[in-house]
């Protein structure tokens, strides 16, 4: 006879289901912890890769990227080496007791240092859980985040001086309380206006009585206004600043002029200050194959298109960071539209009232692309602009003022020698 097999009792089934549930829960928890550790490890690895790219950038430019350059999501420049094609994004999930998830970059000490704030939920190697700060010196713990001391919660408020100098670089603030005294940054030729939550000044203003209600660490930015006064030493000369009637800030004399109203140097369009701009500098007929000819000769070219280069380069003199910009830092060669605005604002109609204008523009005999100087009996005021001619890309616009009239749409050969007056960017 067959024996009946005994089935599981209800209690046994419930126990088995409970054990399976506990094991599943433990597996899910272990998986979540593993994922959290992986996210924290990624955060630390990202920061170390970013630090390497930042050091390569510093070795090339003797500064760290600005906040605007960081916002481009690339570490490098559009024209030179790229050290990181895409800045890593922090994992979206916030782990542990962290309140912030992003990598927050700030420039300090006038570009000579930086700070990146980030947070990890668990210890990674020798880095403790919590709010961390990366700098050229490494990665360190940097403050208390969401850590209760009684009922007090503190955060780190970082200061980005945006080209200026500030001390200290950050301060600890208490959540839901006034942030207290703020440092006043300094920057030559600028007046400090305020601290703002946005680099362009479009955010909220922070003052000593501002209540800190941001539930994580943050950065505020120094907002500046340029002051067109004082003097700028540049290459052995002191240039005073002049605010013309167009509202722009200019140097008070031509590049190379020892005094207001004197002529100064005569540059070929797009060239560096390499000696060619000096009066009666030696000449050569050998065209340059580089934007830096490597000699002080005025390069003669009487054949079309009469350029000192043996190729066309319309990137020269384009803005403060344009190639071969001959002007002091933060200054550049004006565009033809800026010359037109100046002429209109100052009501200039000839070289006499050009000299009597805010800029004291002198007249002179320019140097032709042949290397000779104009020999007519009257002088003209001829000034380069930075603007290439779109319809004739081998030519550039210039301002011409004669004893009778003003030309603001003229263009000529780039091997010609004209004076340069610089404008504030």
Q: What is the pLDDT of residues 218-240, one digit of tens each?
A: 999 999 988 898 898 998 999 99
Residue 28 confidence class, pLDDT cut points 50, 70, 90? low
Mean pLDDT of 122-144: 79
Whether 31 shows a pLDDT value over 70: the answer reads no
The pLDDT value recorded for residue 149 is 36
Q: How far apart are CA 84 and CA 406, in angstroms?
A: 49
Q: Which of 22-26, 83-87, 151-155 has the highest mean pLDDT?
A: 83-87
Mean pLDDT of 276-289: 95
Query: Encoding tokens for residue 12?
Result: 């046994």
The pLDDT value recorded for residue 80 is 65
Least confident of 64-73, 140-149, 287-296, 302-311: 140-149
Give per-residue pLDDT as tens, 256-276: 999 999 999 999 999 999 999
Q: How far apart are CA 51 and CA 156, in angstroms?
A: 21
Q: Is 171 exposed, middle or buried (0-12, 13-18, 19+ CB in 10 A)?
A: middle
Which alpha helices (DSSP H) does 231-385 contain, by range?
336-346, 351-355
Look up the pTM and report it. 0.57
- Which of 269, 267, 262 has its CA nearest to residue 277? 267
Which CATH superfamily, name and number, covers 40-226? Listeria-Bacteroides repeat domain (2.60.40.4270)
Mean pLDDT of 413-421: 96
Mean pLDDT of 67-73: 84
Whether 148 shows a pLDDT value over 50: the answer reads no
What's the sign of the alpha-carbon dihedral 41, 47, 53, 55? negative
Mean pLDDT of 189-204: 92
Whether 85 shows a pLDDT value over 80: the answer reads yes
Residue, of 130 and 415, whose pLDDT is higher: 415
Q: How far apart are CA 370 and CA 175, in angstroms?
A: 71
Whether 361 shows a pLDDT value over 90: the answer reads yes
Q: Under a CB-based contact definition with an 8 Å cutoff, are residues 392 and 411 in contact?
A: yes
Residue 299 β-bridge partners? 284
Q: Is 24 exposed, middle or buried (0-12, 13-18, 19+ CB in 10 A)?
A: exposed
CA 167 to chain centre: 21
Mean pLDDT of 388-402: 93
Q: How far apart are CA 210 and CA 204, in angstroms?
A: 10
Q: Under a CB-based contact definition with an 8 Å cutoff, are residues 253 and 418 in contact?
A: no
The pLDDT value recorded for residue 8 is 64
Q: Where in the chain is the domain with CATH 2.60.40.4270?
A: 40-226
Mean pLDDT of 4-14: 66
Whether 213 shows a pLDDT value over 50: the answer reads yes
Q: How far apart are CA 154 and CA 47, in angstroms?
A: 24
Average pLDDT, rounded, for the chain: 87
What's 352's DSSP letter? H
The pLDDT value recorded for residue 97 is 81
The pLDDT value recorded for residue 144 is 44
Residue 146 confidence class, pLDDT cut points 50, 70, 90? very low
Output helix, strand, coil percentages for the chain, rounded to the nearest 5. Answer: 20, 30, 55
Q: How far apart are CA 385 and CA 29, in angstroms?
A: 67
Q: What percent of the chain has pLDDT over 70?
A: 91
Whether 360 shows a pLDDT value over 70: the answer reads yes
Query: Encoding tokens for residue 413?
Result: 């050969």
Mean pLDDT of 390-400: 93
Residue 78 confidence class, pLDDT cut points 50, 70, 90? low
Instruction: Using DSSP, state whether 387 is helix, strand or coil.
Output: strand
The pLDDT value recorded for residue 32 is 67
């Amino acid at each position: 006879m067959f024996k009946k097999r005994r089935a599981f009792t209800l209690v046994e089934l419930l126990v088995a289901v409970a054990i399976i549930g506990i094991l599943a829960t433990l597996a899910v928890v272990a998986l979540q912890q593993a994922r959290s550790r992986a996210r924290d490890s990624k955060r630390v690895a990202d920061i170390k890769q970013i630090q390497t790219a930042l050091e390569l950038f510093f070795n090339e430019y003797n500064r760290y990227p600005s906040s605007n350059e960081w916002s481009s999501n690339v570490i490098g420049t559009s024209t030179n080496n790229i050290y990181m094609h895409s800045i890593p994004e922090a994992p979206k999930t916030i782990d542990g007791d962290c309140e912030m998830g992003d990598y927050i970059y700030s420039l300090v000490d006038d570009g000579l240092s930086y700070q990146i704030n980030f947070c990890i939920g668990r210890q990674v190697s020798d880095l403790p859980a919590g709010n961390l700060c990366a700098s050229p010196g490494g990665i360190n713990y940097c403050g208390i985040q969401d850590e209760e001391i009684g009922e007090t919660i503190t955060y780190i408020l970082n200061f980005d001086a945006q080209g200026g100098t500030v001390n200290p670089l950050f301060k600890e603030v208490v959540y839901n309380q006034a942030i207290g005294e703020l440092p006043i940054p300094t920057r030559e030729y600028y007046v400090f206006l305020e601290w703002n939550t946005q680099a362009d000044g479009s955010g909220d203003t922070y003052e000593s009585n501002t209540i800190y209600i941001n539930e994580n660490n943050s950065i505020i930015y120094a907002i500046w206004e340029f002051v067109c006064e004082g003097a700028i030493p540049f290459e052995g000369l002191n240039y005073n600043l002049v605010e013309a009637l167009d509202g722009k800030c200019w140097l008070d004399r031509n590049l190379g002029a020892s005094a207001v109203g004197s002529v100064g140097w005569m540059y070929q369009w797009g060239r560096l200050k390499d000696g060619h701009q000096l009066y009666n500098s030696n000449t050569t007929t050998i065209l340059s194959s580089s934007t830096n000819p490597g000699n002080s000769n005025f390069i003669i070219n009487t054949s079309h298109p009469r350029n000192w280069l043996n190729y066309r380069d319309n990137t020269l003199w384009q803005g403060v960071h344009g190639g071969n910009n001959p002007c002091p830092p933060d200054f550049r060669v004006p565009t033809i539209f800026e010359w037109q605005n100046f002429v209109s604002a100052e009501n200039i109609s000839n070289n006499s009232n050009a000299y009597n204008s805010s800029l004291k523009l002198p007249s002179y005999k320019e140097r032709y692309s042949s290397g000779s100087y104009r020999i007519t009996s009257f002088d003209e005021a001829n000034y380069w602009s930075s603007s290439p001619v779109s319809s004739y890309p081998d030519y550039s616009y210039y301002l011409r003022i004669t004893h009778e009239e003003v030309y603001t749409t003229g263009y000529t050969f780039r091997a010609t020698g004209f004076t340069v007056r610089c404008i504030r960017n």
